[in-house]
Chain A
């Protein structure tokens, strides 16, 4: 389930935030979670204390399938950090809800592939310093 090698030479850690800490720790058991409204079922990202649809305060992290489709992407080439190799930033839409989106990295996808938009992908986690970064690989990639 895990990704060992980081494609980023420097990965910026999330800031401590009681609202979002669950998100960055979720991958410890290999599962991705988003806050979901217990009243109307809406997933909210970034996480919010009330449901932005029905305003219920019952927002609970729930496991999702981890499967998604790439909405758009970019290959970053500029070396913001010296020595950094090109890498793919992707924006993926989770299967659970058509506006449940996450910016992430696409790993194991050729940089020059011409079919990245629309590609089916699934989550894998990169663990660093008690943060589990949700990254995505092509669906069906062997674990």
Chain B
């Protein structure tokens, strides 16, 4: 095994119900997802010897952004474990999965339960939207100028990308349109009705050049997985989603407005790091599950990961054929956060595992054996390359 991350694989996946304003508690949803993931891995709770989550903390204090803490789940399941982790810092949402992988490589655990739970839809319904809420630490020199929403921060990235490279709204629209098309064959997606270019161009503007359809949709839901040592792969009930490589580097200023290349984000350094840890190349990737909190983030990941040159993302996705399920690089096959719902990074990883297993039904990409999952935007970034079955 050339990289320590190849000592682990995703053995099980689970999901709670997900949707708008479910009115259920974060712990309730989390336990549904966790127990499903543990059973899916062919394990019982007694086998779980580690727990990791993003971002940790408390769902009410964070107005639905954080789920239950790792220790709260440990207690709810009455587990005795060897490893516990919960943090909003690290390689975006994926940081918790990478932490689980690292703990396994270090011999600290054999089967780590990881989860991400959001109840933003219910919490915003109860208390109204809270733009920038909980983001004061990130927005210290932004909020005072009315840059109160991440929409504003990414809008400036999109604006500069369009100015510098000639990227058009019609091109950017292909991210939203592709996600919606894919959501149409995903029964768990919240927005499944067909979307047209006219719908996109006529959607109300939020912060130029980003319109409502460039923004993901808050939902309630929990996604859980079990990360296991490769020794377990031969006994596991499903073919392994093997962790081939991770990208965790932080290169450049970790800032919304001080990153050197404001047409991109820290995804650039993460992507270089990822490819430095594997012999696989961008051309080997069959499917890309790329974070889409905002459409421009997905475009930035496509460029950063080397599927096209920096600045050529607009042309790359023009017309949408290349990134469609029938194209050379299908993206966000589940509909992404733009249409399936904002399961906050874990939805992309869950879909990657389902695709590698060949269990995606109507939206299955034939021959999906190498999938990249990328999480986060701006100063928050992490990426992971997964393969079907264990590869040395």
Contact = CB atoms under 8 A, between A and B. Distances in A.
Given A12-B148, A91-B257, A91-B262, A77 B204 contact: yes
A133 B206 CA distance: 24
Interface string A70-92: 01111111101000000101010
A13 B144 contact: yes
Interface in B131-168: 131, 136, 140-149, 151-152, 155-157, 159-160, 163
B159 A117 contact: yes
Interface of A: 7-8, 11-15, 20, 45-46, 71-78, 80, 87, 89, 91, 99, 101-105, 117, 133, 135
Contacts of A101: 257-258
A7 B141 CA distance: 18
Contact of B145 (A77, A99, A104): A104
A46 B140 contact: yes
A7 to B, nearest CB: 8
A78 B206 contact: yes
Given A102-B141, A117-B160, A78 B257 contact: no
Contacts of B364: none
Contacts of A71: 160, 262
Given A89-B152, A91-B156, A101-B257, A74 B145 contact: no
Contacts of A72: 156-157, 159-160, 163, 262
A80 B94 CA distance: 30
Contacts of B78: none
Contacts of B144: 11-14, 133
Contact of B159 (A73, A80, A135): A73
Contacts of A102: 141
Given A74-B152, A76-B146, 7 more contacts: A14-B140, A20-B140, A45-B141, A72-B157, A101-B257, A101-B258, A105-B145
A13 B144 CA distance: 6
14 contacts: A11-B144, A12-B148, A20-B140, A45-B141, A46-B141, A72-B160, A73-B159, A74-B159, A76-B146, A76-B152, A77-B204, A89-B156, A103-B257, A117-B163
